Structures are given as C-alpha cells and as structure tokens.
C-alpha cells in the first residue's frame, strides 16, 4: 500500500491509470481546461502528471482520484470483490462488534479486546523526521509563487490552491483536517475558505480575536488522507485517525517547524502559518463544483510563516466545475462508506445514491422499506437533519426493490408513481453556502419526492395499485436457455 503520494503515482502508472505530459503546459487556465476535458471522458479518464508546468520546476498531478479504480487504489480496496463497499462492511462489522449484546459474559467482553487494540493501532504516530522537511524555508525565503498554483477558470479571483489539506487544533487540542481552497493573495498570504458549516470554521470560533490559530496545509502523503479530509465526519472524529482506520495503520506525523501542529511526515509539501479570527478579507469568485462561479465573500486570512517540502516534490491539484469532475469519485466514496453509519439511525434505508450531476448537495435517491404511514417523509426529514447530507435540496424515496443507482429506473418511478400534489413535501432549511438558487444566503427550500408504490394501509390509497409488468419465471428460463437458437 502506498504510504506516500509518489509511490501511489507509481502504482497508478504501473496499471495504466496515469499519463505523463512532457509538453510545457501553463498552470494558468491551460492545465484546468485539459483536466476538465479528460475528467469528462467515460469513466473519468486517466490521472495526469504535468512534468513541465510553465515557469515552474515542480510537476503538477491532476485527476489522481478521478476514476473508480483510482479511488479504490487510494483506499487500498482495489482487490476487494465489493470494492469501496468493503470499507462499509468493515464499519458495519465494527458497529455490530462494539454493541454489547444481552447476556454478554466476562469472556465475551474479553473477546472484544482485539478490536480495542485495532482502534489503538489507528492512532497517529509521532515520528522525528519526515520527507516533508527535507527542504525548509522560513521568513523571507517563503515564496508561494514557487508553487505551480493553478488558476482554473477565467473569472477566478486569482490562483487557488485546491488539494491542500488544512490541519488545525481546536482549543481543547483535538485535531481537525479538512480540504478547503486557498486563494493566493501574495507571496505569503492565502485566503482560508472555511465555510460556516464545516469544522474548519468551528475550530476557529474557539480562538479569541487577536489570537493566532496555527494552520498547516499538507499536500500528498498517504493517498487516503485526501479522501478523509473531504469526508463528512462529526467534529469529535479526527480525520487523521480516520485515515488510520481506512489503512489499518496509524499515520506517521511530524511536528511542524513553526508550531506544535503535526502533519503527515511523508507529505510532498507543507505550508505553515496562522489565522487571526478577527481578520477577514474578500475571497473569490471561484469556478466551483456547483458548475457556477461561487460569489466573492469575506473569509479568514492565512499568514504563511514557512514552506517545507521533500527534495523533489510533486504538487497535487484538482479542478472543480460542472460535473462530472474528479471530485465525483470522492463523493462516491462517501456515498458508499457512510451508508452503514446512516443506517445506524435509519435502519429502514436499503441503499442510497448521490448522482454526480447533483454536485453532492442537490439530489439524494434513497431506497427503503415502508412500514407505516408517513415513513418516506420521516426518512426525508431525517436526511434534512443529519450531518452534511442535511444540505440536500431534493430527496427522492423509492421502494426497497428499486436500485437508486439506476437513474432511468428512478425517473420511471418518479414520473409514474408520483401524484405531485400528494407526494411532494416542501420544507425550508440550511443550504450549502455555495448554492446560488435560493434568495437568501445558505437558507432555502427543499423538496422530498415520495416515489414509492402507494397502498391502502399506509397511504390511504383507495384504488388498486397495479403490479409491475413481468414474465413468468418459466418463460424467462426458457428463453435464456434457448437464446442462441434465436440467433441473437
């Protein structure tokens, strides 16, 4: 398993998942346009290693996570029959193991100890040295322009760092790591785009105005780190430890050169600095994963004190924009990995799908088993009240035998099963701050569509609901057996 990003890239190359581009390519718009076109190829296209960025000696990698295969490789499940669902299975198993069962005796409890030992093994380990500090630049030596930072869309407010993972500590010492874009203002100043609903913003609120909250931004390292930085974990769960869980081994961390923060030791590059919660600056606009420019707004400022890197680093970047893009595969991993956690509180859910076209927050399709009147509406309300999935503007509910990933099937059920006045539920609530459609910032309406079959007992449906068209098993068996006789 790849522990650092360059060995991950080597693994990708070995299986034909990475292309090297030796031609000189400009990080200003040209790289983004190439990656955008490649990401829209069926299956997401290959990872791209730009060896020769205009004006820079540091190569750029894009689309590293932009296919199902690469996402599986990043999380080490490419050989598992169930792929990303293998991680969901581990979580499900863990939840079951951790539940004390009735009549559990002392010996049963002892049998749980190995699991506790596993948990210990996922904790980050502090090491003395890391590749990421082979080269250290502080003070006046710090020049953000040495990094090949991309400008991805023409009307962007400037160049933006897109794949840097920001590490902070809450006031009580807990770690948080999140993926937030960082606008480059000048050689030593960045925008710190921590949206109000995310832990990155929550952590800052513990600091008083005028106080410095240290921030370290790491690039690369174990490829699972970047996924963890996007995962909708609750504030009490550390993303670095979650990476340890995903990998079955704790992440090696090294202390920063200008603060007590720790960063993954084998990162490609680390930017160290601080944020004063009292200081805000205009950030954006930025061509975003909504498929539109998100509007400029005031965000904290990150003052850079040091840049450290390995001797020959590679700079990872992404482009977000109209879906599908690379981040669709990060979203897919979340859909699969978080299903068992959602099912802990909503056991009636069978499966769910967040189609890439819905840009994470606009559409969720849920298949479920209906057991009482108002059950689909109960699930819709639960979605609107849970973690980051609360942002969902449209929740579609289908019966448990419908595959929510089959969008033609889902559309068929919506259009045929729904009586619009009866089956649409409207409500209001928080929206993703990037949403442009609502009149108010981060607040607007949502719709739930109950596309389940209706019956008398639960829905008060007085007519007879027709059966799905189907051939008898006997006929289906016969034509399968005789298929070659038909010459088809």
Report the alpha-carbon distance of residue 85 to residue 242 in Å, rounded. Answer: 16
Residue 38, contacted partner among ligand FMN, Mn ion, none, CB below 5-8 A by kind: none
Q: Beta strand 160-161 with 267-283: parallel, antiparallel or unpaired? A: unpaired
Sole binder of Mn ion in the list 176, 259, 267, 452 (CB under 5 A): 176
Beta carbons within 10 angstroms of residue 5's beta carbon: 28
Sole binder of ligand FMN in the list 159, 164, 178, 277 (CB under 6 A): 178
Considering the complex, what minimum distance in angstroms separates the CB of residue 124 from Mn ion? 15
| 70/193 with CB nearer ligand FMN | 193
Query: Considering only residues 365-384, where is the footprint of ligand FMN by CB under 6 A?
Result: none
Considering the complex, what minimum distance in angstroms separates the CB of residue 388 from ligand FMN? 6
| 242/459 with CB nearer ligand FMN | 242
Residue 235 CA neighbour count, 13 Å, CB half: 15
Of 225-233, 255-263, 336-344, 447-455: span binding ligand FMN (CB under 6 A): 225-233
Residue 124: which residues within 8 A CB-CB, separation 6 or more?
175, 238, 240, 241, 244, 250, 251, 252, 253, 262
Considering the complex, what minimum distance in angstroms separates the CB of residue 193 from ligand FMN? 4
Sole binder of ligand FMN in the list 181, 310, 361, 453 (CB under 6 A): 181
Considering the complex, what minimum distance in angstroms separates the CB of residue 180 from Mn ion? 11
Query: Considering only residues 197-216, where is the footprint of ligand FMN by CB under 6 A?
Result: 198-200
199 binds Mn ion, rule: CB under 5 A: yes
Name which of 257, 65, 273 is nearest 189 in CA terms. 273
Report the alpha-carbon distance of residue 250 to residue 261 in Å, rounded. Answer: 17
| 291/374 with CB nearer ligand FMN | 291
For Mn ion (CB under 5 A), the number of binding residues is 3
| 29/433 with CB nearer ligand FMN | 433
Residue 200, contacted partner among ligand FMN, Mn ion, none, CB below 5-8 A by kind: ligand FMN
Helices (H) and strands (E) in the chain, counts: 15, 23
**DSSP E strands, 78-212:** 125-126, 135-138, 160-161, 165-169, 175-179, 182-186, 189-191
Considering the complex, what minimum distance in angstroms separates the CB of residue 387 from ligand FMN? 9
| 133/238 with CB nearer ligand FMN | 238
Name which of 200, 356, 383, 199 is nearest 290 in CA terms. 356
DSSP code, position 374 = T
Name which of 326, 316, 151, 126 is nearest 219 in CA terms. 316
Q: Is the peptide bond before 346 cis (omega within 30 degrees of 0)?
A: no
Sole binder of ligand FMN in the list 215, 320, 341, 402 (CB under 6 A): 320
Of 23-31, 110-118, 229-237, 437-445: span binding ligand FMN (CB under 6 A): 229-237
Residue 195, contacted partner among Mn ion, ligand FMN, none, CB below 5-8 A by kind: ligand FMN
Q: Give yes or no: 327 in active site.
A: no
Report the alpha-carbon distance of residue 154 to residue 151 in Å, rounded. Answer: 8
354 binds ligand FMN, rule: CB under 6 A: no
Considering the complex, what minimum distance in angstroms separates the CB of residue 134 from ligand FMN? 27
159 binds ligand FMN, rule: CB under 6 A: no
187 Rama class: left (phi>0) / alpha (psi -120 to 50) / beta: alpha
Sole binder of ligand FMN in the list 63, 67, 258, 318 (CB under 6 A): 318
User: In the sheet where 18-21 sits, what is the strand order?
Assistant: 18-21, 47-50, 60-62, 315-316
Considering the complex, what minimum distance in angstroms separates the CB of residue 242 from ligand FMN? 10
Alpha-helix residue ranges (DSSP H) falling in 182-222: 199-204
Considering the complex, what minimum distance in angstroms separates the CB of residue 165 from Mn ion? 11
Distance (Å) of CA 154 to CA 27, 33, 187, 210, 322: 12, 10, 21, 35, 14
Of 105-113, 168-176, 287-295, 363-371: span binding Mn ion (CB under 5 A): 168-176
Name which of 197, 199, 196 is nearest 240 in CA terms. 199
Given a contact cutoff of 8 angstroms between Cβ atoms, the answer to whether 392 and 398 are in contact is: no
Catalytically annotated residue among 4, 266, 288, 459: 288
Chain contacts with ligand FMN (rule: CB under 6 A): 176, 178-181, 193-195, 198-200, 229-232, 318, 320, 327, 330, 388
Chain contacts with Mn ion (rule: CB under 5 A): 176, 199, 233
User: Catalytic site residues?
Assistant: 288
């Amino acid at each position: 398993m790849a522990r650092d990003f360059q060995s991950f890239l080597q693994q990708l190359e070995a299986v034909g998942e990475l292309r090297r581009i030796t031609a000189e390519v400009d990080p200003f718009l040209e790289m983004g346009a190439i990656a955008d076109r490649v990401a829209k190829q069926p299956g997401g296209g290959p990872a791209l290693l730009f060896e020769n960025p205009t004006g820079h000696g540091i190569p750029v990698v894009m689309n590293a996570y932009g296919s199902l295969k690469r996402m599986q490789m990043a999380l080490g499940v490419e050989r598992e029959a169930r792929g990303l669902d293998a991680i969901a299975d581990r979580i499900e198993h863990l939840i079951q193991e951790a539940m004390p069962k009735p009549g559990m005796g002392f010996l049963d409890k002892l049998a749980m100890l190995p699991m506790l030992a596993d948990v210990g093994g996922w904790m980050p380990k502090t090491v003395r040295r890391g590749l990421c500090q082979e080269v250290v630049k502080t003070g006046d030596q710090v020049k953000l322009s040495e990094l090949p930072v991309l400008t991805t869309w023409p009307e962007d407010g400037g160049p933006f760092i897109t794949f840097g993972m920001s590490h902070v500590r809450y006031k009580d010492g807990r770690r948080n790591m999140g993926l937030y874009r960082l606008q480059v203002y000048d050689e030593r100043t960045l925008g710190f785009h921590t949206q109000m609903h995310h832990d990155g913003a929550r952590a800052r609120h513990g600091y008083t105005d005028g106080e410095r909250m240290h921030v370290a931004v790491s690039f690369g390292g174990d490829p699972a780190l970047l996924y963890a930085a996007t995962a909708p974990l609750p504030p009490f769960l550390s993303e670095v430890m979650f990476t340890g869980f995903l990998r079955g081994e704790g992440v090696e961390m090294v202390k920063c050169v200008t603060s007590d923060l720790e960063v993954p030791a084998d990162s490609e590059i680390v930017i160290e600095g601080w944020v004063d919660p009292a200081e805000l600056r205009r950030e954006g606009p930025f061509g975003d994963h909504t498929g539109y420019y998100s509007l400029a707004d005031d965000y904290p400022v990150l003052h850079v004190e040091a840049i450290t890197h390995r001797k020959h680093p590679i700079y990872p970047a992404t482009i977000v924009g109209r879906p599908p893009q690379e981040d669709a595969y990060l979203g897919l991993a979340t859909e699969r990995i978080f299903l068992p956690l959602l099912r802990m509180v909503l056991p009636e859910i069978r499966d769910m799908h967040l189609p890439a076209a819905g840009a994470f927050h606009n559409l969720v399709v849920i298949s479920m088993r209906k057991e009482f009147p108002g059950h689909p509406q109960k699930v819709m309300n639960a979605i609107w009240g849970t973690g980051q999935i609360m942002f969902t503007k449209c929740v579609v509910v289908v019966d448990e035998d419908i595959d929510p990933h089959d969008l033609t099937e889902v559309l068929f059920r919506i259009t045929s099963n729904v009586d619009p006045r009866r089956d649409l539920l409207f409500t209001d609530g928080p929206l993703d701050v990037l949403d442009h459609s609502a009149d108010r910032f981060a607040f607007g309406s949502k719709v739930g569509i109950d596309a389940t079959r209706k019956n008398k007992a639960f829905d008060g449906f007085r007519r007879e609901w027709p059966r799905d068209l189907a051939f008898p098993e006997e006929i289906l068996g016969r034509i399968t057996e005789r298929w070659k006789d038909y010459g088809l």
